[in-house]
Amino acid sequence: MEVAATALWMGHLVAFPTETVYGLGADARNPEAVARIFAVKGRPTVHPLIVHVADGGMLDEIALEVPDAARRLAAALWPGPLTLVVRRRPGAVADEVAAGLPTVGVRVPGHPIGLALLRAFGGPVAAPSANRFGAVSPTTAAHVLADLGDDVDVVLDGGPCPVGVESTIVDCTGGLPTDGADGADGRGAPDGSGVADGAGVADGAGVADGPGGPGRGLRILRLGGVPAERLAEIVGHEIPVGGRTAAPGTLASHYAPRARVEVARDGPAARARAHELTSAGTTVAVIAPGRGNGGSPPAVLDGRGGTGATEGAEGTGGRGDHGPGDDPGADPGLGPARPVELAVPDDPEGYARVLYARLREADELGVEVVVAAPPPGRSGLADTVADRLRRAAGPR
Higher pLDDT, 230 or 201: 230
**17 and 107, same domain (yes or no):** yes
**pLDDT over 80 at 297, yes or no:** no
Q: Report yes or no: 117 and 4 within 8 Å, Cβ to Cβ.
A: yes
100-140 per-position pLDDT tens digit: 899 999 999 999 999 999 999 999 999 999 999 888 999 99
Counting residues of the chain whose pLDDT is more than 90, the rounded percentage is 66
**273 and 225, same domain (yes or no):** no
CA 387 → CA 9, 10, 254, distances in Å? Answer: 36, 37, 10
In this structure, the strands spanning 23-27 and 14-16 are antiparallel
Note whether residue 250 is domain-resident: no
CA atoms in the 13 A half-sphere facing the CB of 87 = 13
**16 and 159, same domain (yes or no):** yes
Cis preceding-peptide flag for 79 (omega within 30 of 0): yes
pLDDT value of position 247? 56
Note whether residue 44 is domain-resident: yes
The rounded distance, in Å, linking the Cα atoms of 316 and 168 is 22
CA atoms in the 13 A half-sphere facing the CB of 371 = 24
pLDDT value of position 395? 79
Give the mean model confidence (pLDDT) for residues 222-247: 86
Q: Which residues are CB-contacts of 174 (< 8 A; sequence separation ≥ 6)? A: 67, 201, 204, 205, 206, 207, 208, 210, 217
364-373 per-position pLDDT tens digit: 999 999 999 9
pLDDT value of position 253? 47
Helix and strand totals (H; E) in the chain: 10, 14
In which domain, by residue range, is 285 found?
Answer: 260-392
pLDDT value of position 48? 93
pLDDT value of position 18? 97
pLDDT value of position 396? 67
Helix axes 382-392, 348-365, angle to 10 degrees: 20
Give the mean model confidence (pLDDT) for residues 387-396: 87
Lowest mean pLDDT among 184-188, 326-330, 360-364: 184-188
3-state secondary structure of 188: coil
Note whether residue 103 is domain-resident: yes
Q: Of the candidates 201, 235, 269, which is a domain's last residue?
A: 235
The rounded distance, in Å, linking the Cα atoms of 250 and 57 is 28
For 35, other C-beta atoms within 10 Å of its C-beta total 15
Mean pLDDT over all residues of the chain?
A: 81
Q: Of the candidates 171, 201, 235, which is a domain's last residue?
A: 235
Write the secondary structure of 94-163 as one string of H (helix), E (strand) and C (coil).
CCCCCCCCCEEEEECCCCHHHHHHHHHHCCCEECCECCCCCECCCCCHHHHHHHHHHHCCEECCCCCCCC
pLDDT value of position 190? 28
**334 and 277, same domain (yes or no):** yes
Confidence tier at 217 by pLDDT (50, 70, 90):
confident
The rounded distance, in Å, linking the Cα atoms of 165 and 219 is 19
**pLDDT over 80 at 292, yes or no:** no
**59 and 159, same domain (yes or no):** yes
**pLDDT over 70 at 380, yes or no:** yes
The rounded distance, in Å, linking the Cα atoms of 28 and 127 is 8
Higher pLDDT, 320 or 53: 53
The rounded distance, in Å, linking the Cα atoms of 298 and 24 is 37
Q: Report yes or no: 139 and 47 within 8 Å, Cβ to Cβ.
A: no
Higher pLDDT, 310 or 317: 317
**198 and 290, same domain (yes or no):** no
CA 363 → CA 233, 252, 257, 326, distances in Å? Answer: 39, 21, 7, 14
Domain count, the chain: 2
**187 and 267, same domain (yes or no):** no
Lowest mean pLDDT among 42-46, 162-166, 255-259: 255-259
The rounded distance, in Å, linking the Cα atoms of 14 and 125 is 10
CA 338 → CA 71, 279, 334, distances in Å? Answer: 52, 8, 11
Higher pLDDT, 280 or 216: 280
49-92 per-position pLDDT tens digit: 999 999 999 999 999 999 999 999 999 999 999 999 999 999 99
**289 and 388, same domain (yes or no):** yes
Q: Report yes or no: 20 and 161 within 8 Å, Cβ to Cβ.
A: yes
Higher pLDDT, 356 or 185: 356
**46 and 183, same domain (yes or no):** yes
Domain containing residue 46: CATH number: 3.90.870.10
Confidence tier at 338 by pLDDT (50, 70, 90):
confident
Q: Report yes or no: 33 and 27 within 8 Å, Cβ to Cβ.
A: yes
Long-range contacts, 146-149 (Cβ 8 Å, 24+): 148/15, 148/24, 148/40
Higher pLDDT, 13 or 327: 13
**pLDDT over 60 at 316, yes or no:** no
**272 and 231, same domain (yes or no):** no
**125 and 271, same domain (yes or no):** no
Q: Report yes or no: 101 and 90 within 8 Å, Cβ to Cβ.
A: no
pLDDT value of position 135? 84
Give the mean model confidence (pLDDT) for residues 5-11: 96
In this structure, the strands spanning 284-287 and 369-372 are parallel
**pLDDT over 50 at 192, yes or no:** no
Give the mean model confidence (pLDDT) for residues 30-51: 94
The rounded distance, in Å, linking the Cα atoms of 350 and 367 is 24
pLDDT value of position 244? 63
The backbone torsions φ and ψ at residue 103, rounded to the nearest 5 degrees and listed phi first, read -120, 160
Listed residue (268, 18, 44, 25) closest to 124, CA to CA: 25
The pTM of the whole model exceeds 0.85: no
**297 and 205, same domain (yes or no):** no
Confidence tier at 206 by pLDDT (50, 70, 90):
very low
